[in-house]
Amino acid sequence: MKCESCNKKLATVHLTEIIENEKKERHFCEDCAQNVTNHFPKAPSPSDILTSLINQVSPEIREMSKTTCPVCGISYLEFRSQGRLGCPMDYNVFKKGLLPLIERMHGSSQHVGKVPANAGAEIVQKNELIQLRKELNEAVERENYEKAAELRDKIYELSGNVEDGD
Amino acid sequence: MEIKDLSDNTGEWLRGTGKESDIVISSRIRLARNIAGYPFLSRANFKQRREIESLLRKTIIERKIAQDVSYVNLNQATAIDKLFLVERHLISKEHAEGEGERGVAFGKSETVSLMINEEDHLRIQVIRSGFELKSTWDTIDEIDNILGEHLSFAFSSRFGFLTACPTNVGTGMRVSVMLHLPALGMTKHIEKVFNAVGKLGLVVRGLYGEGTKVSGDLYQISNQFALGKSEKEILSIIESVIPRITSYERMARKALVMESKDQLEDRIWRSYGMLKAARMITSEEILQLLSQVRMGVNIGLIDDIEMQTLNELFVLTLPAHLQKLQGCELDSTQRNVIRASYVRKRLDGL
């Protein structure tokens, strides 16, 4: 069936109009349908769809898409498509994009476990402090105030020796 | 040591000893580590890869990380040798299939294995028979400390040990406990276990880890998160879950014995009969048969097979092991014949 407006292209849009109880069938090609009615916005191009999808699903990708690690040369998009980082520095360079991902994977983004055997005393203390603060929160939640007081004292004691902060 | 010297024995983790070893086959912990100052492997060039391999290999051998350490250069190993090491759980499938300079160091008892240039520069693995997470952790912690004194690992106080894949960042630790759960599988209660375990942030995998299917009723329970909890906390979560699963399995076994004793016994004895008499057995079939017979031993129905023999047969009848044992390449039909005859020999069959 040909389009009733231009009479050239194939009619792919079929409208049913009801005006004062009178039903009327109309057949247009996609281009003419745009002119006849504003109900049919022009189909977006695949790249438009992709961009809007990315924006919806991961605003972080749009923001980070231009970031590239100066050390190993990997771009944020390459990381997202391969799932593997290029070097330890990427954790800093892509921090903004990585944080929500890491939160989702682990339910946290702060390490509280072991530190390397040869790490400086400062790192060791810093991580001990983080662990103690976590335990303190848990103790307060459980209303174990005796334990909480004990932990608080330990934290005071340690934080006197270490420059705190991220 | 040559790889062929290993082919008619197995690692100590298959001995069937340790706590709850009727259900818990093994306890395994691995730590992912990378050397500071080098890119991760996907971005490392040929020279860097070789430097990392050589630095790690030398440190591991000099520090005598395990007793009588053997080192296999995987870049030069044959396809069968690589598959053989995968079957023994000394390397991962990814490590076997990888490219470039890489290798594995392991101790004589095969309790300790160190994979160099796998997904990360270094993957340390310790595996023990039975439900033995505490001693497994003590061993791997000590190895990590020794290596950490001589090597500089990529680490940040915010994210912990930095790894190529952000799923491992933090502790870099994955704990996997391998369980034999035939009764839960048979009664379909296994689904409930999966759901409960999932809520705790743990996952269930097949025999050979990520992406492998479950066979022979063998399941691996492991942690998904590696950051935000200390190693001890991760261990204690798994430590508290496993006894619940094992007692659930024992209940299911009891119920089967009470409610469908004849069917159960028939199934187990038939499986035993097949193992003792069949002339051809496929690799899938043998897992099912061994699983049934293993349960038969556990519920006291069969008393003339050692648990160690059964555990070992799960590994010794795998394709690369049969080919090593035979000393030549075999097609799948030949393997099925050799597999059946090997099992008959081990079980004093017909």
**B148 vs A contacts (CB less than 8 Å):** 116-118
CB B169 within 8 A of CB B162: yes
Q: Answer whether A68 touches B (CB < 8 Å).
A: no
* Closest CA relative to residue B334, chosen from B272, B277, B283, B289: B283
Residue A17, pLDDT score = 78
Neighbours of B170 (CB within 10 A): 32
Determine the Cα–Cα distance for residues A42 and A20; give it in Å rounded to an integer. Answer: 29
pLDDT score for A166 = 40
Which residues on B lie below 8 Å from A94 (Cβ)? none
Question: What pLDDT sits at residue B223?
Answer: 95
Output the pLDDT for position A35: 75
Q: pTM here?
A: 0.82
Q: How many CB atoms lie within 10 A of CB B240?
A: 10
Residues in A closer than 8 angstroms to B155, CB to CB, are 115-116, 119, 123
pLDDT given for residue A51 in this prediction:
67
Identify which of B36, B165, B233 has the shortest CB distance to residue A88.
B36
Q: Residue B208: its pLDDT value, please?
A: 63
Q: What is the pLDDT of residue B111?
A: 96
The tokens 């818990």 sit on which residue? B24
Smallest CA–CA separation between A67 and chain B, in Å? 17
* Contact with chain B for residue A57, Cβ under 8 A: no
CA-nearest residue of chain A to B37?
A88
What single string gives the DSSP state of each residue in chain A? -B-TTTSSSBP-EEEEEEETTEEEEEEE-HHHHHHH-TTSPPPPPHHHHHHHHHHHH-HHHHHHTT-B-TTT--BHHHHHHH---SSTTHHHHTHHHHHHHHHHHHS-----S---TT--HHHHHHHHHHHHHHHHHHHHHTT-HHHHHHHHHHHHHHHTTS----
Shortest Cα–Cα distance, A71 to chain B (Å): 8
Per-10-residue mean pLDDT for chain B, 350 residues long?
68 92 96 96 94 96 89 95 95 94 95 97 97 97 95 93 97 97 91 89 77 78 95 96 95 94 96 97 94 96 94 94 92 96 94
Residues of chain A positioned with their CB less than 8 A from the CB of B156 = 88, 91-92, 111
Write down how long chain A is: 166
Contact A32, A5 (CB under 8 A): yes
Chains A and B: how many Cβ contacts under 8 Å?
122
Confidence (pLDDT) at A118: 82
Which parts of chain A sit beneath pLDDT 70? 37-44, 47, 50-61, 160-166
The interface predicted TM-score of the complex, written ipTM, equals: 0.88
User: In this structure, what DSSP letter does residue B105 have?
Assistant: E
Residue A74 contacts B where some CB pair is shorter than 8 Å: yes
Helix and strand totals (H; E) in chain B: 12, 10
- Give the tens place of pLDDT for each residue, B236-261: 999 999 999 999 999 999 999 999 99
Min distance B115 CA to chain A CA atoms (Å): 18
Q: Which of A106, A109, A128 to mutate to test the interface with B (most CBs of B within 10 A)?
A: A106
Over residues B121-159, the pLDDT tens digits come to: 999 999 999 999 999 999 999 999 999 999 999 999 899
pLDDT for A160 equals 65
pLDDT at A163: 46
Provide, as residue numbers in chain B, all residues whose Cβ is less than 8 Å from the Cβ of A108: 225, 227-229
Q: Which residues of A touch B226 (CB under 8 A)?
A: 106
**By CA distance, what is A75's nearest residue in B?**
B43
What are the chain A neighbours of B166 within 8 Å (beta carbons)? 85, 98, 101-102, 105
**Could you give phi then psi for residue A139, rounded to 5 degrees?**
-65, -40
* Nearest Cα residue in chain A from B154: A88
Residues A8-35: tens digit of each pLDDT: 888 888 888 777 788 888 888 888 877 7
Phi, then psi, of B249 in degrees rounded to 5: -60, -40
Contact criterion met (CB < 8 Å) for B166 and A88: no
Among the partner-chain residues B155, B169, B228, the one whose CB lies closest to the CB of A107 is: B228
Q: Do B105 and B114 meet the contact criterion of CB atoms below 8 Å apart?
A: yes
Query: What distance lies between CA A112 and its chain's CA centroid?
Result: 24
Considering only CA atoms, which of B174, B176, B185, B169 is closest in space to residue B241? Answer: B176
Residue B173 token pair: 């630790």
- Residue B254, H or E segment: helix B231-259
Give me the pLDDT at residue A41, please: 57
